Amino acid sequence: MRFLAIRAIRRPSLALAALLAGFALGGPLFAAEPTHGLAMHGAPALPGDFDHFPYADPAAKKGGRLRVGLSGAFDSLNPFNVKSGTAAQGLVGNVFQGLMARSQDEPFTLYPLIAQSIEIDPARTRVTFHLDPRAHFSDGRAVTAEDVLFSFDLLKSKGRPQQRIAYGLVKAATAPDAHTVKYDLTGVGDRELPLILAIMPVLPKHATDVERFSESTLAKPIGSGPYVVADAQAGARMLLKRDPNYWGADVPSQRGFYNFDEIDIQYFRDGNSLFEAFKAGLIDYRDETSTTRWSTGYDFPALRDGRIVREALRSENPKGLNGFVFNTRRPLFKDARLREAFGMMFDFEWVNAKYYAGLYTRTKSFFDESELSSSGRPADEKERALLAPWPDAVRADILDGEWRPPVSDGSGRDREMAKRALGLLAAAGCRLDGDKLLKDGEPVSFEIMVRDRDQERLALAYASSLARIGADVRVRLVDEVQYQRRRQKFDFDMMIGQYLASASPGNEQRMRWSSATANQESSFNLAGAASPAIDGMIAALLAARSHEDFVAAVRAYDRVLLSGFYVVPLFHASEQWIAHSTDIARPERLPHYGTPLFGPTLESWWRKNP
């Protein structure tokens, strides 16, 4: 839509007066036409009359039980409040659904679900959702605009921090009738916000305890999705049963999904017991994350007999970054030179060979193995223009795409690397006193918090390397509940953080890295980063209209994060390793951008003989 530039007009016509009135009201000049989908950039790939998502099989068999296993525990069935870190997995999508459904075949595109169409102006200052009159909750009550506004207000005030921040940007939300919801986004300048609103879970106003919403609860929730919670045992098990009256079974975005009659989700305290349960045939599917198990652990009867099969699958999604995160709220970690020096002491070459059979690749970007990565690419003119207001935010070698995590000699005792690290530490005000590293006259000492034995082994190896330059590093293994609580309160010195990446990074980056979340309890800004340059790059990627501008903004953002040395990059597998019972099957066609390729309850899979 093009807007007219109006300078000085003495006697406007009636038509022009109406035009000016449109500007005064902040509305679009022309009414937006209803459409079936919404893409972050460009147009939806599927037409309005599409039958199903390309990676779903509408002919999949229905019935049977899926048994899945997860590590950890849970103490709540509410996945939307600040305590959601300890909520049961498998509720979102199965029990709770949003206005629109995301296609994993496109970077970020939504299609109808509860909302059967959407109206939006080109500037994305106003968005209107038209609800499907067939939509209802599992108790039979209709889903109405009142429920949508109720959910919006509740999550804006009592939801997770990322929901509060995003929904707090909305100027106004109204419901002209029972099946229409309008949002006013004027002045926000966030082109992703309409999509964030579209995937907001819709909660039943008549069956939600507002007063106790912030608390943990095991009360069985009511949603509009294909399953209901049949049983829940805190920390141990949750059983989902198909709702035979699920209203959306024939909605194109739902065809071919949710094929099991029951989903039995069992929780295990540690990874070994979970693997043993899989070997014994007690669960049907496993995402393998251990290179040792993948390379040597699958020689057992079920696999030899053909009852279990292994697969290595690839997607086009960025690989993201896992790493040891410095809590920069701690005075010790304020200096980026110290953080870089400590990062040098992680000996990936030795760790990969000794612990992981050489199967991992060192991660060098927050968006590795994708067009969004800055690694190996000099910044172009668009990136440099974005970064110009903060000339010191990106180091020269990172701006030129030349930086890589340092490569050791693989001996586990690389003297040259230790020498380089000590040189940086000296510049940061540290010195060696015998075999102890001192800063401001005090011994350098901190703790790495870990959640399981695999993390503990890795952290102990890293602590041993840091001890070579005089740092006193302790490793503390804590249980899942304590781990989540300490993470939410930033009660740690260092921990392993996981920064999953999508092909369309957006508002979630605010919760990970923005200044506003640095001290916001339960945010995912683990490092406590508070940088105007980071904030500026997040704003740029959210405001980008073209794919080219978006890629430039994300690459510039990647460079700023890498220059801060907030995280010691670890490693990644270029493939997703899975193993599963031959009694269950999946579509041959995989989604392009799944992260991971399948959800925790295998929405696109089915049982061969239910």
- Output 12-20 pairs: Cβ under 8 A, ≥24 positions apart: none
User: Which residue in this structure is represented by tokens 């740029």?
Assistant: 540
Residue type, 243: D
- pLDDT attached to residue 575: 92
Ordered alpha helix ranges (H), 388-427: 396-399, 415-427
pLDDT tens profile 156-182: 999 988 889 889 999 999 999 999 999
- pLDDT band for position 22 (cuts 50, 70, 90): very low
DSSP 7-52: ---SS--HHHHHHHHHHHTT--SSPPPPBS-EESSS--SS-TT--S
Checking if the pLDDT of 5 tops 90, the result is no
Residues 210, 554: Cα–Cα separation, whole Å = 38
**What's the domain range around 403?**
321-572
**Which one has a higher pLDDT value, 11 or 52?**
52
pTM score of the predicted model:
0.78
CATH number of the domain that residue 386 is part of: 3.10.105.10
- 339 near 580, Cβ under 8 Å? no
The verdict on residue 601 lying in a domain is no
Distance from the Cα of residue 149 to its chain's centroid: 25
| pLDDT tens digits, 189-220 | 889 999 999 999 999 999 999 999 998 899 99
Residue 31 has pLDDT above 80, yes or no: no
- Quote the radius of gyration of the chain (alpha carbons, Å): 26
For 464-507, write each residue's pLDDT tens digit: 999 999 999 999 999 988 999 999 999 999 999 999 999 999 98
* 610 part of a folded domain: no
Task: Please give the full DSSP string across 261-275, using - where no structure is assigned.
Answer: SEEEEEEESSHHHHH
Instruction: List, for residues 231-240, the tens digit of each pLDDT value.
Output: 999 989 999 9
β pairing state of 430-433 and 436-439: antiparallel
Backbone angles phi and psi of 578, in degrees to 5: -130, 155
Percent above pLDDT 70 for the chain:
94
Comparing CA positions, the residue from 32, 173, 187, 37 lying closest to residue 113 is 37
pLDDT value of residue 507: 86
Q: Does the residue 155 lie in any domain?
A: no
Encode pLDDT of 514-523 as tens digits: 999 999 988 9
pLDDT beyond 80 at 25: no
CB 225 within 8 A of CB 246: yes
pLDDT at position 12 is 34
Strands 576-581, 285-288: pairing is antiparallel
- Alpha-carbon distance of 224 to 326, in angstroms, equals 41
Comparing 16-30, 79-93, 260-274, 419-433, the range with the smallest average pLDDT is 16-30
The pLDDT, as a whole number, for residue 118 is 97
Q: Which of 30, 93, 407 is nearest to 257 (CA)?
A: 93
Instruction: Note the pLDDT of residue 86.
Output: 82
| pLDDT computed for residue 162 by the predictor | 80
Provide the pLDDT confidence category of residue 271 given band limits of 50, 70 and 90: confident
Which DSSP helix (H) or strand (E) runs through 448?
A: strand 445-450
Within a domain: 502: yes
Residue 415 lies in a domain: yes
% the chain with pLDDT above 90:
84
Q: Is residue 52 part of a domain?
A: no
Is the CB of residue 310 less than 8 Å from the CB of residue 579? yes
Q: Is the pLDDT of residue 358 over 80?
A: yes
3-state class (DSSP) for residue 74: coil
What's the pLDDT at 569?
98
Asked whether residue 78 is domain-assigned, the answer is no
CB atoms within 10 A of CB 403: 20
Confidence of residue 595 (pLDDT cuts 50, 70, 90): confident
Q: Dihedrals φ, ψ of 224, to 5°?
A: -110, 10
The mean pLDDT of 252-256, rounded to a whole number, is 98
What is the band of 8 on the pLDDT scale with cuts at 50, 70, 90? very low
Per-residue model confidence (pLDDT) at position 21: 35
Q: Which pLDDT does position 235 carry in this prediction?
A: 86
Whether residue 103 has pLDDT greater than 50:
yes
Residue 240: which of 114, 90, 72 has the closest Cα?
90
Please check whether residue 229 lies inside any domain of the structure: no
For 391-413, write each residue's pLDDT tens digit: 999 999 999 999 999 999 999 99
- CA dihedral defined by 520, 524, 527, 528, rounded to 10 degrees? -20
- Is the pLDDT score of 530 beyond 90? yes
Per-residue pLDDT for 16 more than 70?
no
Residue type at position 27:
G
Mean pLDDT in residue range 26-42: 73
Res 84 pLDDT > 90: no
Beta bridge partners of 71: 268
pLDDT (0 to 100) of residue 6: 27
- Determine what percent of the chain falls in helix, strand and coil, rounding each to the nearest 5: 30, 20, 50
Q: pLDDT band at 578, cuts 50/70/90?
A: very high
Q: Six-digit token pair at 586?
A: 């999946």
With a cut of 80, say whether residue 2 has pLDDT above it.
no
pLDDT of residue 82: 80
Q: How many domains does the chain have?
A: 2
If one counts every other C-beta atom within 10 angstroms of the C-beta of residue 170, the result is 19
- pLDDT at position 24 is 35
- The pLDDT of residue 431 is 96
Mean pLDDT of the chain: 92
